Structure 1
């Protein structure tokens, strides 16, 4: 008969650094949380996440008795600085489309279960981090992220994976709650540029830079463009400043060869000028929250980042983007970026492209010319 120790061994053989167990009872407290935050998480249902429907493991597996949690460290290897500064680390080696890494290890673990007569499901909308806490594998931080007891030197560079099974195993002792040290003084909250973090484990996801980069509505509001800084897709700001993550950040990690191999494809000018074919073959397989129908959002994000570099070398690319794009959100952000870089070169470029501007683009041009002239 398969016991907890056998499951733990199989999980570690598949490359997971910690394995925990909790019951398959509904996550009632999480259901209450989602009900209270219905307005803030409406977007999740709009994009098909259906979080409320992930509360009860028995929805996915009628005979569910246990939730096994596999703890993945997605930051085992270091990433090129050119990628880290613009993309959240959890997306840099994401194989949910390519299925050439984590997917294979989960498959290996589930094969072990199947070979031992255990049926399993891995629901995408189950509250995986809450399951990990209920399994006693760690606690949450004030930044709402999960901090492992045993992985990444007790850091938050973790991805808990909840596997629902039809066999009963001895559950761990729950560790639901926040355990940030008092001396931290809310570092993550103070460092959040868009004020998405509200304290005591609360967040308005609609203000989070990650959300804004791939789900935000329309053109990025002016007051958020500079605070969003250099991030094109995702954000690690609250993790980078967290004192609890410093031990792992200090570690001398080997380089991630897969990410190095694709880093050149994510060069800023290439992203700004990419067509659908380039996007679908080079970018989407790795960062897929936006389809080619939202290519405008990628280009808008890149234009904003170019502006925030304050580097006049990008003005030529931004002018080209203005001229070759029909979408006013891309044109408007290119104009903002040029104005934000400013100076004589920026003002001159804006003056040349000002003819015939109308609507949103005209408004952005007028504001950008004023900004450029003042720098």
Structure 2
């Protein structure tokens, strides 16, 4: 039978940044987290975190856990893409299956060829599993930081693989790796106050959550704090001193990101139709289908407003002419008020004359006040 060293070596050859081993026992410490109000929403979107607390619920024959670290920030990403999108989402291949999916398949095929059955464990406490397997430590921003890969940064994604073979566990690293001199940079940088300190988070205030799971029109008090992000967020990672080295590491560019740059600009997202979405966006962004196109458009309009860039005004006007969804219209109106100026004010005045919706009238009046201030 193969050894741990051979398994890890094969993982590195395939393209993973690190690999570690842990016992296949329940994650009892996570029950406390799941009993608070912050995680009730997960069931409604089909994420069964309770089931993931015990590896036996996912793979009854599980005897060991292998955690593979995937380093997703290995290529240079154009600044404009980073401006509007979280980096990890730009590497999502759950539709194209040409990236991480391929690596995982190769790894599992290797295990199978050596008589080991496996199952990828979705919705398990993957960050805790990675620390249990000794390949990472935690951060105050609740993210996992690699111990030796990717410059010790948080730009890694843990893949939990359950296997029906007993491997001796590696030494765990269940601890915070944040330096004592860090003055809570991530917590201070979170504009929506999602980070609560002591490694805890209110996920429903996280910008990433709000961009793809937020219900209804984004509340007024969160529109400015959410800034330019259309999908995902990297603010707490960008300010973290543990990430500084990897952020500035020289990286080669890839055709994937170069081609995405133009296609993913906010004006394209705001006005896209179904064909554009399915050919340009959906292959790379998994969480929001075209059924959620209103959310894509709303997020793009908010980003335009927070840019304060007048070049976006014609696109916002066109969206108001073309789309009836009230959530999109509200955000376009808000964005015009946020950008301000005589051109935006004129559009708002015309909309007010045509409007018969009381909720919209309130947004129009507020936007016009902002234009005049």
Q: In which range does the TM-score fall when normalised by the shorter chain?
A: over 0.9
Secondary structure at the residue paired with 1:163? strand
The whole-number CA distance in structure 2 between the counterparts of 1:259 and 1:96 is 17
The whole-number CA distance in structure 2 between the counterparts of 1:62 and 1:195 is 40
The residue aligned with 2:186 is 188
Instruction: After superposition, give the CA deviation of every residue in 1:153-192 in whole Å (9 maximum; x if it has no partner).
Output: 1110000111000000010122212221121110000000
The residue aligned with 2:200 is 202
Q: TM-score, normalised by structure 2?
A: 0.98
Report the alpha carbon displacement of residue 32 of structure 1 after superposing the two structures with TM: 2.7
Instruction: After superposition, give the CA deviation of every residue in 1:23-60 in whole Å (9 maximum; x if it has no partner).
Output: 1101111223222x3x1111111100111111111112
Q: Is the 8 A contact 1:93 1:259 kept in 2?
A: no
The whole-number CA distance in structure 1 between the counterparts of 2:268 and 2:372 is 29
Q: Is the 8 A contact 2:51 2:58 kept in 1?
A: no
Secondary structure at the residue paired with 1:354? helix
The whole-number CA distance in structure 1 between the counterparts of 2:350 and 2:32 is 56
The whole-number CA distance in structure 1 between the counterparts of 2:259 and 2:290 is 23
Q: Is the 8 A contact 1:328 1:360 kept in 2?
A: no
Q: Is the 8 A contact 2:92 2:286 kept in 1?
A: no
The residue aligned with 2:363 is 364
Please list, as runs of the form range in 1=range in 2, the aligned pairs for 1:5-24 lying within 5 A after superposition. Answer: 5-24=5-24
The whole-number CA distance in structure 2 between the counterparts of 1:194 and 1:62 is 40
Q: Is the 8 A contact 1:93 1:258 kept in 2?
A: no
1:257 equivalent in alignment to 2:255: yes
Report the alpha carbon displacement of residue 202 of structure 1 after superposing the two structures with TM: 0.6
The residue aligned with 2:67 is 69
The residue aligned with 1:177 is 175
RMSD (Å) for aligned C-alpha atoms:
1.0
Give 1:347's match in structure 2, choosing from 342, 345, 348.
345
Q: Is the 8 A contact 1:300 1:334 kept in 2?
A: yes
Q: Which range is displaced more, 139-148 or 264-273?
A: 264-273
Please list, as runs of the form range in 1=range in 2, the aligned pairs for 1:1-375 lying within 5 A after superposition. Answer: 1-35=1-35, 37=36, 39-357=37-355, 358-374=357-373
Q: TM-score, normalised by structure 1?
A: 0.97
The whole-number CA distance in structure 2 between the counterparts of 1:269 and 1:18 is 39
The whole-number CA distance in structure 2 between the counterparts of 1:124 and 1:114 is 19
Moved over 4 A (4+): none
The whole-number CA distance in structure 2 between the counterparts of 1:290 and 1:360 is 26
Q: Which range is displaced more, 26-35 or 314-323?
A: 26-35
Q: Is the 8 A contact 1:304 1:334 kept in 2?
A: yes
The count of residues paired between Structure 1 and Structure 2 equals 372
The whole-number CA distance in structure 1 between the counterparts of 2:335 and 2:58 is 47
Secondary structure at the residue paired with 2:225? coil
Could you list the runs of 5+ residues in structure 2 that have no partner in the other structure? none
Q: Which range is displaced more, 58-67 or 195-204?
A: 58-67
Report the alpha carbon displacement of residue 339 of structure 1 after superposing the two structures with TM: 0.5
Secondary structure at the residue paired with 2:233? coil
Q: Is the 8 A contact 2:17 2:69 kept in 1?
A: yes
